[in-house]
Amino acid sequence: MFDRSRLEAGLPIVGLGKPLHLFSTIDSTNARALELGQAGAPHGTLVVADEQTSGRGRAGRRWLTPPRSAIALSLLLRWDPPVDGVSGALSGFGALSVAEAAEGLGAQVEIKWPNDVLVAGKKVAGVLVEAQWQGSLLASAVVGIGINVRPGSVPGPDQVGYPAGCLEQAIGRRIDREALILDVVRAAGRWFSLLGSHEMLEGWEARLAFRGMQVSVDDGGVRLRGRLENLHTDGRMVLLTDQGQRLIIGPTAADLRPIDR
């Protein structure tokens, strides 16, 4: 379990992480952060759990968070007044925050668009953004981050759609999970202030996996193939297909992978 006083001593960071809701076991930190948001919890609210029993992944999948081996956290973000045009960047925001924290530990990180964090070609972290809208404007969002830290957190090959690994295997030494939580929140504070900016796009693109390669991606149920060119300014992925350029949006895209040639 996590040490509450140690986490609280390091929080908030740039407005994120207060109040802290810490659980030894919970169904899903995203579900709890959404409930807290509906009950009026402030911007920056952080939910952390040592174990999740019904962790949520993208595209309706499950996300495993066994005890003492992983990190599961969710940040509640609010915009008052509601904003336009940053929702595409939110996936990148979560992935960049993990990437920067992992790089601080010496890992070489790639981001499998939109928001999977890869180290040595294996997925070590995922991000689930659940947004609340006021009409077409973004009023609040829960950004949920799951990180496989120790070997015990790595799901078996039959449980995942993409090869999974963990940070400790990647860097070859023990990781202090509380310090890593604080590093992720620290990076999140920085990237939040740059949300949707050119600098953020550059940071995301610089780590983009499979750039310039032939890839296939599920775009809202339709399988597309083409060359992964770069990112559009709003965070959409630019795919050059035989029929021309396609801009793919993050929330409905899934299962990006390189095509073996």
Contacting positions for ligand BTN (CB under 6 A): 28-30, 52, 55-58, 61, 63, 65, 72-74, 116, 126-128, 144-146
**CA 102-227-221 angle, 5° bins:** 85
| Residue 192 CB partners (closer than 8 Å, separation 6+) | 14, 15, 16, 77, 93
CB of 215 vs ligand BTN, minimal distance in Å: 17
Task: Give me the residue whose beta carbon is nearest to ligand BTN.
Answer: 126
Residue with Cβ nearer ligand BTN (184 or 231): 184
Residue whose CB is less far from ligand BTN, 23 or 82: 23
Amino acid at 188: A
User: Amino acid identity, residue 150?
Assistant: R
Q: How far is the CB of 147 from ligand BTN (least distance, A)?
A: 8
Residue closer to ligand BTN by CB (options 63, 192) is 63
Q: How far is the CB of 135 from ligand BTN (least distance, A)?
A: 26
- Which residues neighbour 259 within 8 Å (Cβ) at sequence distance 6 or greater? 213, 214, 215, 216, 225
Q: Which CB, 155 or 258, lies closer to ligand BTN? A: 155
Q: Which is it for strands 109-112 and 70-83: parallel, antiparallel or unpaired?
A: unpaired
Smallest separation, CB 162 to ligand BTN (Å): 9
* Helix, coil or strand: residue 189: helix
